[in-house]
Amino acid sequence: MAQVAIRAGGLTFGARFEDVLAPRTCATFRALLPFRRQLLQARWSGEAAWVPLGDLRLDLPSENATAEPGPGQLLFYPRGVSETEILFPYGITRFASKFGALKGNHFLTITEGATLLAELGQLVLWKGAQPIVIEAAP
């Protein structure tokens, strides 16, 4: 059962929080719901989109961190050598910035609509920024 609904580029996904492996990241992100931003094609990470969050500081530890998330394994990068961001992998991804490899906290996993991830990737790659809304599932 999905805990959050994600609408991006006119597509809908369901996702679950990774509460056991990333409890602080999940709790912090829950407090940001509903979350509304723009989803852009990632510049350094391969088949992924990202939500830049600039100088947002949330004082989160490294939890369930990875540099190689699978499609639909969303990462939260809580600022360090690069800016705060959410990474939304839709294919083969190696999380990185202009400073080199990064690890982000895997805090959400797509559980519904995974077959639409490639379509989302095509939208952000060829059509540009797409609105993204993440909110509690109905």
pLDDT tens readout for residues 12-35? 999 999 999 999 999 999 999 999
Residue 69 carries which DSSP code?
P
Domain total in the chain: 1
pLDDT at residue 120, rounded to an integer: 98
User: What range defines the domain where residue 13 resides?
Assistant: 4-136
Instruction: Give the model's pLDDT for residue 52.
Output: 95
Predicted confidence (pLDDT) at residue 1 exceeds the cutoff of 80:
no
CATH code where residue 17 lies? 2.40.100.20
CA distance 128 to 25: 28
Identify which of 18, 9, 12, 66 has the alpha carbon closest to the alpha carbon of residue 41.
9
Q: What phi-psi label fits residue 100: left (phi over 0), alpha (psi between -120 and 50 degrees) or beta?
A: left
61-107 confidence digits (pLDDT tens): 999 999 999 999 999 999 777 889 999 999 999 999 998 999 999 99
Distance CA 10, CA 127 (A): 12
Contact, 120 vs 91, CB < 8 A? no
Between residues 41 and 1, which one has the greater pLDDT? 41
Helix, strand, coil percentages in the chain from 3-state DSSP, rounded to 5: 15, 45, 40
pLDDT at 61: 94
Q: Is the pLDDT of residue 56 over 90?
A: no
Q: Are 113 and 11 in contact (CB under 8 A)?
A: yes
Rounded distance, CA 11 to CA 132, Å?
9
Using the predicted structure, report yes or no on whether residue 47 has a pLDDT greater than 90. Answer: yes
What does the DSSP 8-state code read for residue 70?
A: P
